[in-house]
Amino acid sequence: MSSTTTRTPKEHIEEIRRKKFSIGGEQNPLTEDLHHAVKNLSAELYAKDVHFLMELIQNAEDNHYKDGEKPTLEFVITSHDITATAAPATLLVFNNENGFSPKNIESICSVGRSTKKDNRSSGYIGEKGIGFKSVFLVTAHAYIFSNGYQIRFNERPCPHCKIGYVVPEWVEEKPTLADIKKIYGAGKKSLPTTTIVLPLKPDKVNPVKQQLSSFHPEVLLFLSKIRHLSVREDNE
């Protein structure tokens, strides 16, 4: 096995799938417990009226940024089906934070475990246990592109281990980084470090558009780090 310092992001994801979720290996006796924990999480999630956009803003606020970087969070909603999931609209969230570390990736593949639980001021977008899972209120597939990681989480249980929400899957295409760049804007220099892609459930398109259009500039007054927050639509 490659060491932590030399393994690639893809090797890291394969290792998580093999060791934690027993995919392609021996059955982990704790898999059933994990499945029940995930079921409890989903019940808790759907019982709450979670304003998931505010959760994403709060996570971006908690993130670390390079010195001299202007902390920026951008929401783009597009009618292009870049994930090939037949979604009527897709929400992309761009954040120029430092990006996901291997530890953050392991945290997001857990139920309720978080590297920011003890220190709310040092987080990564989507890292908090139930915080990131709140995106499943509006999507059945959540994609994360950050620091070489390109992964997807599914609401439906994984066919190999029967667990949903927390099993990472490597994404080769649909979308590719080039697909995402087209939506972000060909004229812009490069993609921000972290991009979250959420193909929206059909009945959630209008509610999400309403949430996005109801943002007030005053929200920035309550944020200490985020200096630029934008919302735009990209249509065919």
> Which sequence spans correspond to the domains of the chain?
9-114+127-234
User: Model-level pTM?
Assistant: 0.89
Q: How far is CA 38 from CA 34, 41, 133, 162, in A?
A: 6, 5, 10, 10
Q: Is residue 102 a contact partner of residue 148, using CB atoms and an 8 Å limit? A: no
> pLDDT category, 142, cuts 50, 70, 90?
very high
What one-letter code names the amino acid at 205?
A: V
The pLDDT of residue 154: 95
The pLDDT of residue 8: 97
Element (H, E) at 12: helix 9-19
Residue 37, helix vs strand vs coil: helix
The pLDDT of residue 162: 84
The pLDDT of residue 215: 83
- The helix-helix angle for 52-62 and 205-213 (nearest 10°) equals 50
The pLDDT of residue 123: 43
Look up residue 5 and give its two tokens. Answer: 């310092």
Per-residue pLDDT at 128 exceeds 50: no
Rounded average pLDDT over 113-119: 52
Domain boundaries 9-114+127-234, CATH class: alpha beta
Residue 191, helix vs strand vs coil: coil
173: CB partners within 8 A, 6+ apart: none
- End-to-end Cα spacing for the chain: 46
Q: Is residue 153 a contact partner of residue 166, using CB atoms and an 8 Å limit? A: yes
CA distance 98 to 163: 30
Per-residue pLDDT at 38 exceeds 70: yes
Neighbours of 67 (CB within 10 A): 4
Neighbours of 44 (CB within 10 A): 13
Rounded average pLDDT over 70-84: 96
